[in-house]
Amino acid sequence: MATANQEESRRVLVTGASGGIGSAIALTLARDGFELVVHYSSNRGGADHTADTIEEASGTRPSLIQFDVTDRETCTQLLEEDVKANGAYWGVVSNAGTHSDAPFPKISPEAWDGVLASNLDGFYNVVRPLVMPMVRARRGGRIVTISSISGIAGNRGQANYAAAKAGLIAATKSIAQELAKRAITANSVAPGFIETGMLADAPLDKILEIIPMKRLGTADEVAATVSFLFSPGAAYMTGQVLSPNGGML
């Protein structure tokens, strides 16, 4: 059973936090005073680096949790065990996902299914086991999903990714309506082109042409948007999509 102190703590789970945007979000929320749980799938070294950075910045080392977000049975089992031992989460950031880009006729069935499974099924597999404990805790809470500008406007070569991220926005808006009376907000952050490994092989000259600010965004700028949604000032904001994108929309 969780102790009284554990029940009162504001624990936050960030999925896909072993690097990139997820790591930046976890670090920012730790600096904001939340008790972080860092999720990773296979990159233990990256997760350890995130934990080291958080410990250095906040003086508190986050917990690590490992599972594949596409494995529904394992997600449910591990998260239910975690909640039983440590109490309900106050917040969750559904960030884990992947992409496999190609023109639509060349997207293989495996690439289609895999991208939807990691981005959209992963949201369901992680968030669903955590919602009712949040409700029963009667402390409100925050749910933030990391979508993409592709989920708003589409993008050439990303029909699978755009479909998954658009579905994520719709799901977030739906649960926002369900949970609003519980003081649990649900919002989505849909970044534009962010300087991460995802753009390693992208044609940056062409990308910069379509960004009014003429630069890529940073993971820290995405994290700052999430930080706002976790702040007291965002308590009345739910079912919304915030898109740090340099003016593209």
**CATH number assigned to the domain comprising residue 140:** 3.40.50.720
Q: Please give the Cα distance from 246 to 93 (Å, whole number).
A: 22
- Asked whether residue 74 is assigned to any structural domain, the reply reads yes
247 belongs to a structural domain: no
Instruction: Give domain status of residue 39, yes or no.
Output: yes
State if pTM tops 0.85.
Answer: yes
Question: Is 40 a catalytic site residue?
Answer: no
In a domain, 109, yes or no: yes
13 touches 96 (CB < 8 A): no
Active-site position among 40, 89, 161, 236: 161
* pLDDT in 10s for each residue of the chain, 249 residues: 333 334 357 999 999 999 899 999 999 999 999 999 999 999 999 999 999 999 999 999 999 999 999 999 999 999 999 999 999 999 999 999 999 999 999 999 999 999 999 999 999 999 999 999 999 999 999 999 999 999 999 999 999 999 999 999 999 999 999 999 999 999 999 999 999 877 777 788 888 999 999 999 999 999 999 999 999 999 999 999 999 999 997
What distances in angstroms separate CA 71 from CA 84, 112, 145, one per listed residue? Answer: 20, 17, 19
For residue 1, being part of any structural domain is answered with: no
Closest CA to 22 of 171, 215, 197, 237: 197
CA dihedral angle for residue 70, residue 73, residue 141, residue 88, rounded to 10 degrees: -140
Residue 143 and residue 17: Cα distance in Å, rounded? Answer: 16
What's the number of domains the chain is made of?
1
Is residue 157 in some structural domain?
yes
Assess if residue 229 is contained within a domain.
yes
Whether residue 101 lies inside any domain: the answer is yes
Phi-psi map region of 242: left, alpha, beta (phi>0 left; psi -120 to 50 alpha) = beta
148 neighbors 200 (Cβ within 8 angstroms): no
- Rounded CA separation 136/7 (Å): 11
What does the alpha-carbon distance between residue 31 and residue 115 come to, in Å, rounded to a whole number? 32
What is the residue range of 143's domain?
Answer: 7-242
**Whole-number pLDDT of residue 199:** 76
